[in-house]
Amino acid sequence: MKKKLLSLLMVGAMTATMLAGCGDSGSGDTNTDAAKDDAGDEAKDDGAADSEAAGSDAAVSEGGKTLTVWCWDPAFNIFSMKEAAKVYQKDHPDVTVDVIETPWEDIQTKLTTAATSNALDTLPDIMLVQDNAFQKNVMTFPDAFTDLTNSGVDFSQFAAGKTAYSVVDGKNYGVPFDNGAVIACYRTDILEEAGFTIDDFTDITFDQYIENGKKVLEKTGKPLISMQAGECDLIMMMMQSAGASLFNEDGTANIQDNATLKIVMETYKEMKDSGVLIEVNSWDEYISSMTSETVAGTINGCWIMASIKTAEDQSGKWAITNMPSLVGAEGATNYSNNGGSSWAVTSNCKDTELAFDFLASTFAGSTELYDNIISCGALATYAPAGDSDAYAQPDEFFGGDAISSKIVDFSTKVPSNITGVYYYEARDAVATAITNYINGGDIDAELKTASDTVNNQMQ
């Protein structure tokens, strides 16, 4: 079983690398970076070849004075890590942080290759790992990761839902980084035209959302939201908002008899059938539907604000609040997460005490750092950061609201969920199920087919 899984992971990692070159930005996990990181795309492409060469013989810490880090995107993750190095070097001037630009697809490929070829010494000291792939990698390549549970990092200061992405068998393997807390964004001028304010969409249920949306559509001709056809980003956000997962704690699939998933699919179909939600064919069309005023809002990870802000002429016309909650779902809340990543210390790190102290003093201990990196859109899931003056600053684009502080607060209320080893395979199966269901398929039959598909892949 494990041999088969390793083989599949190696093929999948290589395939992901090839797909990345085709501009596949349909998945919400990829879009976390694609939407907020457009400014860094050109630099990332130009530096990919150099990163590949540099990453293949990454330096190992010498004498506890150098930490080598792999991460991607110069404008976001790399910028943040370099700022962390500056903060740490104030009290540790003899420590060097060597940041090597390495696209996520390359990190996944290099990790898979190192673990399956017994070449863990090719890994860096610290690497950034996408949240939805974290458990999968730790469970598949346990020898590549260092347990951080007793590292000195106070994990209680992070949003529980965020921390859970990098927890396996009760042990912490990642230090949470960027915030993927879900926000609901609305054009306040369109809402006003229909007789609503942002308060009418705060702390509401999806039933209320649909009823309000019907009135907005009737009065303005604009749907409330768009989503990319064939993807299940919103489905997964709705699931997590109730603390539900596509897997059980023992790793088995939880699809066929998942009561919350059934409610989510029925709610999604009702939104589409009512016209409150429209589906588009691509990620570009999804972004355009907001910036060209086709729809009155969206629900997504907070990183979506960067794309919304490209419509500079709409400054002051947007507002954010929390997402609607599911009706009839046990544990339903108005909070969820979509996207994000966390820092891992690899087993190749020769000075784990240095790596632990660096992470505990910066990403897990410095509000100054989070104040410094808010300029690139990197919002914390580190709760103390939300109390700083920088996070309290009003954002004129979003109606003068202190949105950064609000989003950190949202992140602390996100329920945790289980991603497991086959998260992406389960997402694909559910995406097919929801498409078939919308087109007239029987919901129970579609859920059974999705469950059978994932179970076959797991076996």
Q: What ranges do the domains of the chain cover?
A: 2-180+341-411, 182-336+422-458
For domain 2-180+341-411, the CATH architecture is: 3-Layer(aba) Sandwich (3.40)
Q: Which two tokens stand for residue 269?
A: 């179909």
Q: Please report which helix (H) or strand (E) contains residue 167, including its range.
A: strand 167-168
Q: In this structure, are strands 96-101 and 66-71 parallel, antiparallel, or unpaired?
A: parallel
How far is it, in rounded angstroms, from Cα 349 to Cα 328?
Answer: 48
For 185, residues 6+ apart whose C-beta sits below 8 A from its C-beta are: 290, 297, 298, 299, 300, 304, 305, 308, 318, 319, 320
Per-residue pLDDT of the chain (459 residues; tens, 9 = 90+): 333 344 444 434 433 333 333 223 333 343 334 333 333 333 333 333 333 333 333 334 344 489 999 999 898 899 999 999 999 999 999 999 999 999 999 999 999 999 999 999 999 999 999 998 999 999 999 999 999 999 999 999 998 889 999 999 999 999 999 989 999 999 999 999 999 999 999 999 999 999 999 999 999 999 999 999 988 899 999 999 999 999 998 889 999 999 999 999 999 999 999 999 999 999 999 999 999 999 999 999 998 998 899 999 999 999 999 999 999 999 999 999 998 899 999 999 999 999 999 999 999 999 999 999 998 888 888 989 988 899 999 999 999 999 999 999 999 999 988 887 899 899 999 999 999 999 999 999 999 999 999 999 988
For 332, residues 6+ apart whose C-beta sits below 8 A from its C-beta are: 205, 241, 242, 325, 326
Give the per-residue pLDDT at 161: 86
First to last CA, the chain: 7
Question: Is CATH 3.40.190.10 correct for 182-336+422-458?
Answer: yes
Q: Measure Cα distances from 105 to 99, 139, 140 in Å.
A: 17, 19, 17
Please provide residue 59's backbone torsions phi and psi, each rounded to the nearest 5 degrees.
-70, 145
Q: In this structure, are strands 96-101 and 167-168 parallel, antiparallel, or unpaired?
A: unpaired
CB-based burial, 260-277: b 16+ in 10 Å, e otherwise: bbbbbbebbbebbeebbb
Strand 175-176: give its sheet, edge to edge. 96-101, 66-71, 126-130, 341-345, 175-176
Q: Which two tokens stand for residue 331?
A: 């544990």
Matching residue, tokens 């609607």: 324
Calculate the CA dihedral of residues 366, 390, 188, 275 and round it to 10 degrees: -10
193-196: Cβ within 8 A, 24+ apart: 193/219, 193/220, 194/218, 194/219, 194/220, 195/219
Q: Is 114 helix (H, G, I), strand (E, B) or coil?
A: helix
- Count Cβ atoms within 10 A of the Cβ of residue 353 and give its class: 0-12 exposed, 13-18 middle, 19 or more buried: exposed
How far is it, in rounded angstroms, from Cα 120 to Cα 346?
Answer: 9
Q: Which two tokens stand for residue 428?
A: 């694909």
Q: Which two tokens stand for residue 260?
A: 């919350």
How far is it, in rounded angstroms, from Cα 393 to Cα 17?
Answer: 39
Say yes or no: do domains 2-180+341-411 and 182-336+422-458 share a fold.
Answer: yes
For 439, residues 6+ apart whose C-beta sits below 8 A from its C-beta are: none
Render 29-88 in DSSP notation, one character per residue.
HHHHHHHHTHHHHHHHHHHHHHHHHHHHTPPPP-TT-EEEEEE--IIIIIHHHHHHHHHH
Please provide residue 401's backbone torsions phi and psi, each rounded to the nearest 5 degrees.
-80, 145
How far is it, in rounded angstroms, from Cα 116 to Cα 111?
Answer: 8
How far is it, in rounded angstroms, from Cα 295 to Cα 292?
Answer: 8
